[in-house]
Amino acid sequence: MQTNKPVTVVNAEGLILGRMASNVAKRLLNGEAVVIVNAEKAVISGKKASKVAEAKEFLSVGAPNRGPFHYRRPDRIVRKTVRGMLPYKQSKGKNAYKRLRVYIGLPEDYKDKPAVTLKTAEATRLRGPRLTVADLAAELGWTRSV
């Protein structure tokens, strides 16, 4: 990742997915390089049954060879959520999207770097039911391979 600005490491553990994604998208559009770690621990608000049903219905849209492509891995789900908040069909959005890296867990490269947690996106603000991105991915057919 070759950029003039330093890399911002965001720890997604316990953060609301949509709020985190919008904050990360804004940083990307401002020229920062962003790395999201622990993507599978991000939180989605809502009842598990309804969110899984919604995601499974979304999977039936499209064709396997032509798209749209629906990912089942937590890091890909988070990455696509951020992409949805970028103008990725414009050059500034494409360039911003290239500066994003998303990882399951905490890679060795980023263990020493301080991770930022976004106060406005903390899941402690939620009062209702919630599930993690890993739970959703598991329901969609993702199996953790390590």
Domains and their CATH numbers in the chain:
7-140 (3.90.1180.10)
Report the DSSP pairing between strands 130-132 and 43-45.
antiparallel
Predicted confidence at residue 107, as pLDDT, reads 95
Closest CA to 142 of 65, 81, 56, 67: 56
Whether the predicted pLDDT of 2 surpasses 80: no
Mean pLDDT value across residues 98-108? 96
Mean pLDDT value across residues 104-111? 94
Q: What is the pTM of this model?
A: 0.91
The span from the CA of 137 to the CA of 146, in Å, is: 16
Contact, 110 vs 44, CB < 8 A? Answer: no
Comparing 37 with 125, the larger pLDDT belongs to 37
Mean pLDDT value across residues 110-131? 93
Strands across the sheet containing 115-116: 100-102, 33-37, 7-11, 115-116
Mean pLDDT of the chain: 93
Q: Which band of pLDDT confidence, cut at 50, 70 and 90, is reported for residue 3?
A: very low
**Residue 72 three-state SS:** coil
Predicted confidence at residue 57, as pLDDT, reads 93
Closest CA to 96 of 105, 83, 106, 107: 83
Comparing 83 with 146, the larger pLDDT belongs to 83
Closest CA to 76 of 28, 40, 127: 40
Predicted confidence at residue 95, as pLDDT, reads 97
Tokens read off for 38: 């622990």
Percent of the chain exceeding pLDDT 70 equals 96
**Residue 8 three-state SS:** strand
Whether the predicted pLDDT of 4 surpasses 70: no
Half-sphere exposure in the Cβ direction for 91 (13 Å, CA): 0
